[in-house]
Amino acid sequence: MPKEREIKDESFDAILSWLDPDREKAALKYEELRLSLIRILGWHSCADAAGLADEVFNRVACKIETLIGTYDGDPRLHFYAVANNLVKEHQRQGKIQVPLEEVDLQMPEPVDTESDDEPDSASLECFRKCLKKLSRKDRDLILAYYRKDKQAKINNRKEIAARLGIEPNALRVKMHRIRIVLEKCIDECMEEVNHETD
């Protein structure tokens, strides 16, 4: 599971400077790199490719001062290497994750304990239970964040960030933190379920 941490402004500025000395070019390279990382992580069947892409930047930010002085070559290659390591970690953990888009909280379907037709019913039930444990504010926020698709999703997230008075990157970090809490709760719930069925 990605560790909870926020990129400090000076570390983020250092990443941009490392990508390109020209601030505007660096910002474009950052956006292109982030989208590229999301695609790569998605190809590896990572359930939260955007969150893991942010974790790649978090990890690079922790070592950015050393990297600037010692790394030789295209900085983007280092980000790809970090993403590759993150994919390996993610695959080793083999977590059961339920995409938020697939859950209907208003009308949950009853769980049939005698049927094996729904292999994800336990994880969905754990997800619902853990979602209810979040504060109302966090629960409403994460459900709103994952509500739309494609361009509507991008516009929706910009609106959420504007409504909260924060930058889109800060919103991604906030969502990452909520997901960490949710994933931990789901993992613990699934361990209990698996223990009960053993």
pLDDT tens column, 36-75: 888 888 887 777 788 888 889 999 998 998 888 898 888 9
Are the beta carbons of 182 and 4 closer than 8 angstroms? no
Span 11-35, average pLDDT: 90
pLDDT in tens, 5-18: 556 778 888 999 99
- Whole-prediction pTM: 0.46
What is the Cα–Cα distance from 138 to 110, expressed in whole angstroms?
A: 25
Are the beta carbons of 181 and 174 closer than 8 angstroms? no
pLDDT in tens, 89-127: 877 765 444 454 444 444 334 444 444 444 357 778 888
What is the Cα–Cα distance from 93 to 190, expressed in whole angstroms?
A: 14
* Among the listed residues 116, 98, 67, the one whose alpha carbon sits nearest the alpha carbon of residue 187: 98
- Which two three-digit tokens encode residue 161? 């960030």
Where is pLDDT greater, at 168 or 46?
168
Average pLDDT, the chain: 78
Confidence of residue 174 (pLDDT cuts 50, 70, 90): confident
